[in-house]
Structure 1
Amino acid sequence: MVGTQDPKHEHSEPTLYTFGTGDELSEALANFVIKVQNEAIERRNMFTVATSGGSLPKLLAKNLVGRQDKAVRWDKWQIFFADERLVPLDHEDSNFDLCNKELFSKVPELQRSQIHTIDESLLNDPDELSDQYEKQLADEFAGKDSVRNPVFDLVLLGMGPDGHTASLFPDHPLLGEHGRWVAPIFDSPKPPLKRITLTYPVLNHAHHVAFVLTGEGKQEALARVLSEPEHRLPASRVRPFVPGDVLYFADDLAAKQTEYKRTPFNL
C-alpha cells in the first residue's frame, strides 16, 4: 500500500486535558471514547480503533467494561494495534496479551474476529508480517488494494520518557517512512528488538488521536513534545490533518512540567 502525504493540508494543534487523578482521567477517557464511537457508528455503522499497550488497557477497562447503560457498542468495534512486538500472542511482551488480560477477556460481547492481530507464523519474517498486517488494514478499510490511507476513527497511544510512541523511536530511520502503512523494526532501542508499527501516514489521517499519560515519569517528555515541537520527538510528529485532531489526556503528575495551555474537558 502507498501512503500519501499532502503538504498542502493543515495539521491540527494538540489539545491538552489534565485531571487530578487517574480515576478522573479514566472516566473522561471513557466518555470521549463513547462519543467518538457513536459518531463513527452513525457515519458508517462501525468503530475502528488502533490501540497501544502499557497502562492504556487498564485505564480503558475501568470505565468501559460492565457499564449498566450499555453505551459501549462492542459489536461494532474493529480493533487493531498501533504497534506489536514480534512474540507469540500469549507472551508477556505482546500488546495483544496485555490488552486481552486487562480488557478484551472482560468483554463477552467482543468476538475474537473483531481483534486484528499479527500472524504468529511469520514472527521470523518481519517484512512479510508487516505486509500481512497491512493487508488486514486494506481489507478492513478499502476491501481491495488502494493508494488511500486508512482512516481510523480513533488511535489510542502512550508515550515513553524519550518521547517515542507506538514503535517510532527518536532518531530512527522509520520516522521518515511515508510509503508503508505498517513497517517492521529490527533494532528497537527497547526489547524486544523486532516489532511492527503503524507509520505517520496512518496516524496522521485518523479522525482522532488520543495520547494517554499518567505519572511523573512522563513529565519531561510531555513538556518537550507540547512546548518544544521543534525538537521533533516522535510523539510531537503525530499531528493529524484537519479536521482530525490530537488530544492529550494527562493526570496532573504527568502534566506538572508543561506550560502548554490546558483546555477544560467538556463533551
Structure 2
Amino acid sequence: MCRWIAYRGSPVTLDELLYKPANSLVMQSLHSRLGAEPTNGDGFGVGWYDEHSPTPGVFRSIEPAWSDRNLRELAQHVRSGTVLAHVRATSGTAVQQTNCHPFRFGSWLFMHNGLIAGFPSLKRDLLLAVDPALFPHIEGSTDSETLFHLALTFGLQDDPPAAIAAAVGLVERTAREHGVPFPVQGTFATTDGRRLWAFRYSSEGRSRSLFRNQDVAVLRAQYPDNPVLHDLSDDTRIVVSEPLGDLRGAWLEVPESSYLVVDDGAEDVHPFAPVRSAA
C-alpha cells in the first residue's frame, strides 16, 4: 500500500531520515521489503515542525520520491525534531497532490498506510458523519483523508486514541451495514508537533507491518563503535513501516491492535480497539 516514517527527537536534516539509511524511505519507495507491493511511486509527502510557526510545513508531490530532485534539495536543508514522511501506492484513488500524505489541519498532521475496503460504497455515509465545520477542509478523495476528518470530528485534538478508536468504530459499523466484512486495514500516525501517536490495527487482525526503534542508549552500549548511534540523542524515537537498516536488535515490532505514544522522549505502548458504538 504505502510506507511511512515518523520521527521525534533532536533536530536532524530530512535527508538523515529519507536518504541516508540503508533502507531509507526513498529506498522503500522503489524497493519495499515488507509492503503489499515493492514499489510506492504514486507520490510522496513530508511534514515537519520548526521554531518559526506552530503550523507544520508540508511538501507533497505526485512524482515518485526516488526521482524528485526538489525533495533531495529540500531534504539537505530542512532541519526538524518532528517529522512525518510518506510514500504512496494508491489503492484506487487518483494520483494528485491533495491525495498525498501527510494531511494537515491546524497544528496536526496525519498519515495512513492501508485502506478502507469498499470505500466507494461507504464514502457517502462516512463523509456525512464529518463535522460540517470540518467538511470544507477535505481537499482530496482518499479514504485516509476521510478517516482523518472523522477523527477530528471525534476529538482528535483533545484525545487522539479515543478519536481514532471512534473513527475506526464508525467505519466498521458502516461497513457492516453495507456487507463489507473486514473494512479497516492500516497503520496510522498523527502528531501535534510535541507528541506522537502511532497505531497498528486491522479488522481481521492482520495489520500492515510497523516497527519502533530500540532505545538509543541501549544500542549505543551494544554497538559502541557505530558512528550513527553517537549522532542520535537518547530521546530519539522513530516509528517506521519497515526497519531502516539491518542492525540486530535495533527495531522492535509494534504489536497487533496497539498504539504507541511518544511524549518528551518517553514511549508507551497500549492496546487499541475501535469503539463500535460510535455515532
Same fold (TM over 0.5): no
Larger RCO (CA under 8 A, 6+ residues apart): 1
Flag the structure with higher helix content.
1
Q: Report the TM-score when normalising by structure 1.
A: 0.32
Flag the structure with higher strand content.
2
Q: Report the TM-score when normalising by structure 2.
A: 0.31
